[in-house]
Amino acid sequence: MLKERNEIAGNLKWDLSVIFKNDGEWNKLFNELSGKLDFSKYEGKLGNADTVYECLTEMDKVGWDFQKLGVYAFMKHDEDTRNSVYTALNSKIENLEVQFSSNTAFMTPEFTALPDEVLNSYIANPKLKDYDYMFKCIIKDKPHVLSKETEEVLAMGGQVFGGFHDIFVMIDNADLPFPEIDVNGEKVKVSHGMYGVLLQSPDRSVREKAFKAYYKAFISLINTISATYIGSVNKDVYLSKARKYKSCLDAALETEDVNPIVYSNLLESVNAALPLVHRYVKDRKDILKYDELHMYDIYTPLVENADMQLEYEDAFKLVKKGLAPLGEEYGKLLQKAHDEGWIDVEETAGKRSGAYSIGVYSIPHPYVLLNYQKTTNEIFTIAHELGHAMHTYHSNKYQPQAKSDYKIFVAEVASTVNEVLLLKYLMKNSTDKKLKKYLCSYYMDMIRTTLFRQTMFAEFEYEVHTKVENGEPLTKDNMNAAYLELNKKYYGNDIVSDDEIAYEWARIPHFYRAFYVYKYSTGIISAISIAERIYSEGETAVKDYFKFLSSGSSDSPVELLKLAGIDLTQKKAFEAAMKSFENTLDEFEKL
Ligand SMILES: [Zn+2]
């Protein structure tokens, strides 16, 4: 039986009283805020710098309250999801947000309609310096903003364009006929959740049955899924053409303010490093002693039972030691997080599962939710989430409100830097050969799934979008063929590319958000390069890294990474990450 929340010691729970002492305070602020949402007095007046200043600072004030109210309701709800009081607070604040964004919807079009010289004068205006990057982006996006009427027509299509994603979600969550398989005499349904578990089974026949059964469900609906995905790609092409982008890829990159060369660097570097993946596959085949390695043999652990079963306090101390290369200040801050109620540690009845870090500008510090269990993976989770928290902490501390929230492109960098640093520390200081082997395989699997696999997805997306952009038809057969080719290219000749794997594209929900997955790859590449740099260069690298941690969204994410010495417009950072994979592979083979 799980413990109830009131049975947990106070030092293992987060302290939300620094946000609101009680729900009464929350309601009081909510009522005040409801009366502050009328921005109509600024409509039609954004051509004047002083009015703009007034309008944007008032926006910040309102945003301050919204964040505070939102984050409190969200975290309170996660403490015990059975408690409907906080479900209600969450929907109250969400409704108010919808109202506010509709009240302020005039702003972006009005700014966009201003002549460049006016916008440039805003950028140069010291009073408006908190908003300079926002105005730069508005100027940059101008060629892709259409006439008022056309924008209205496109806005009306929002729900229609989202339809393909919604259809896939329904297929994926409700309609897939997952079969049952026999596991040690018991019938087990191969659902999404069970699939991941079964593919790690030490019993190979279970893995094979699970793999075939899972794909059978997708194959049985493949005509519907194909039509849905083709519709989604056509929608991407339509919208990118309507907005006068060169391609769907350009549209996605420009929206995030990412230089297109980053994307081609990624694809080229990963392709050049594929022999390393092939070597990893060969090692796996040798260790498992199979004549033929199959796609269902790729997730089974190579090293078993190497769990460090540490109590939370010991795990936290270990994480701190692992992160010591980041300097004394960082260590002190981690301790503060531990001592002052930033972290909610234990699993309790009704608590939201998993782990996350959350923080907004208007609360004193970020928070971390854990459901700590005594496994090695969970120790890495502590390091990971604290990485997010420290990124948020520094960006909120050193940036103005308008530039504090970092973009998705860089969101997984700080968390992964921490994981890599902890891994390096454990590799260096452990004498346990089994644990070392485990750590090597943990790291290699992280790189294989986050770096290589996501790049393979990115290549697939690129191929299918380019086909449609060139006026070629897309069919389930040519998508299957393209995917199978990629799978063979990525995994090499030492694994059998089973027939089912050609359909893997059909089960990836992220494909309904075009050109999103490559960010996982560039994120881990940046993190590995930063961690390697911190290890080899020490203090200078740490100083640079703190500049990045403190940079929020003050510039293009590619520029911000340069602060940490990582230039993704060059190949060097990519090569450093591949080298790190190669070194681990060497070490693993030696062990
Ligand atoms: Zn994360």
* Whole-number Å distance between alpha carbons of 102 and 586: 57
Contacts of residue 503, defined as CB under 8 A and 6 or more positions apart, other chains included, come to 215, 218, 219, 222, 480, 483
Distance 357 CA to ligand 1 centre (A): 8
Distance 381 CA to ligand 1 centre (A): 9
* Whole-number Å distance between alpha carbons of 178 and 192: 9
pLDDT at 305 over 80: no
pLDDT digits (tens, 9 = 90+) for 281-293: 999 999 999 999 9
Distance 43 CA to ligand 1 centre (A): 39
pLDDT digits (tens, 9 = 90+) for 34-45: 999 999 999 999
Position with higher pLDDT, 56 vs 376: 56
What pLDDT, on the 0 to 100 scale, is given for residue 478? 96
What pLDDT, on the 0 to 100 scale, is given for residue 187? 93
pLDDT digits (tens, 9 = 90+) for 431-448: 888 889 989 988 999 999
Distance 337 CA to ligand 1 centre (A): 18
Distance 423 CA to ligand 1 centre (A): 16
Catalytic, 385? Answer yes
Query: Residue 342 in contact with residue 389, Cβ under 8 Å?
Result: yes
Catalytic residue among 208, 385, 419, 500: 385
What pLDDT, on the 0 to 100 scale, is given for residue 306? 78
Instruction: Compute the Cα dihedral for 443, 446, 450, 452 and give only its sign.
Output: positive
Q: Which two tokens stand for residue 529?
A: 């390069």
pLDDT at 353 over 90: no
* Whole-number Å distance between alpha carbons of 191 and 189: 6
pLDDT at 117 over 80: yes
Indicate the pLDDT class of residue 156, thresholds 50, 70 and 90: confident
* Whole-number Å distance between alpha carbons of 95 and 88: 11
What pLDDT, on the 0 to 100 scale, is given for residue 432? 87
Indicate the pLDDT class of residue 575, thresholds 50, 70 and 90: very high
pLDDT digits (tens, 9 = 90+) for 140-155: 999 998 887 888 888 8
pLDDT at 304 over 80: no
Strands (E), 206-292: none
Contacts of residue 322, defined as CB under 8 A and 6 or more positions apart, other chains included, come to 383, 418, 421, 422, 423, 424, 425, 426
Distance 433 CA to ligand 1 centre (A): 29
pLDDT at 162 over 80: yes
Distance 358 CA to ligand 1 centre (A): 11
What pLDDT, on the 0 to 100 scale, is given for residue 148? 79
- Could you tell me which of 452, 416, 423 has the C-alpha nearest to residue 440? 423
Predicted TM-score (pTM) of this structure: 0.91
The SS3 of residue 351 is: coil
Indicate the pLDDT class of residue 539, thresholds 50, 70 and 90: very high
pLDDT digits (tens, 9 = 90+) for 465-481: 999 999 999 999 999 99
For the chain, the average pLDDT equals 94
Distance 40 CA to ligand 1 centre (A): 39
Burial label, 463 (beta-carbon count in 10 A; 0-12, 13-18, 19+): middle
What pLDDT, on the 0 to 100 scale, is given for residue 583? 93
Question: What residues are paired with 189 via a beta bridge?
Answer: 180
What pLDDT, on the 0 to 100 scale, is given for residue 303? 83
Query: Residue 237 in contact with residue 466, Cβ under 8 Å?
Result: no
Indicate the pLDDT class of residue 2, thresholds 50, 70 and 90: confident
Q: Count CA within 13 A, CB hemisphere, residue 458.
A: 27
Distance 153 CA to ligand 1 centre (A): 37
Give the residue ranges of DSSP H helices in 80-157. 84-103, 107-112, 116-124, 132-141, 148-156
What pLDDT, on the 0 to 100 scale, is given for residue 240? 97
Distance 511 CA to ligand 1 centre (A): 20
Q: Which two tokens stand for residue 484?
A: 């199978």
pLDDT digits (tens, 9 = 90+) for 165-195: 999 999 998 899 999 999 989 999 998 888 9
pLDDT at 101 over 90: no
- Could you tell me which of 390, 397, 396, 393 has the C-alpha nearest to residue 413? 390
Q: How far is CA 486 from CA 274, 299, 452, 460, in A?
A: 11, 19, 11, 8
What pLDDT, on the 0 to 100 scale, is given for residue 196? 85
Share of the chain above pLDDT 70, in %: 100
Averaged over 328-354, what is the pLDDT? Answer: 95
pLDDT digits (tens, 9 = 90+) for 52-82: 999 999 999 999 999 999 999 999 999 998 9
Distance 414 CA to ligand 1 centre (A): 9
